[in-house]
Amino acid sequence: MGQLDESYPKKQFSVVPVVLCKSLPIPADGREEKNVYQCPVYKTETRGATYVFNAQLKTKAPPQKWIIAGVSIILDVEGVSDAFAHGKEVNVVN
């Protein structure tokens, strides 16, 4: 909990909870933390020109695992975001 983890089998998308994003300066030494994946965030599934920023997600696995898997955050997944609209009841199947 509180970090990037494997998805459930046969589940293409996982809904990310609302998160607080804040801008911080890059450390002067330029080092990156070992257990943080620089996850690209896109507006839509189209990716490319819809790039917004990199989210720093904690992970137990090496960040290279998520790079190879092509993990990203998509802000508007057509048909999925509508199911989680404010005030709607969500049926989660595990």
Give the pLDDT confidence of 65-78 residue by residue, as tens digits.
999 999 999 887 67
Distance of alpha carbon 3 from alpha carbon 16, whole angstroms? 11
* pLDDT value, residue 86: 55
Give the pLDDT confidence of 18-60 residue by residue, as tens digits.
777 777 777 777 676 788 899 999 988 888 899 999 988 889 9
* pLDDT value, residue 24: 74
pLDDT band at 94 (very low <50, low <70, confident <90, very high): very low
Distance of alpha carbon 49 from alpha carbon 92, whole angstroms? 32
Query: Over 60: is that where the pLDDT of 93 sits?
Result: no
* pLDDT value, residue 31: 72
CA distances from residue 41 to 23, 32, 62 in whole angstroms, order as listed: 15, 18, 19
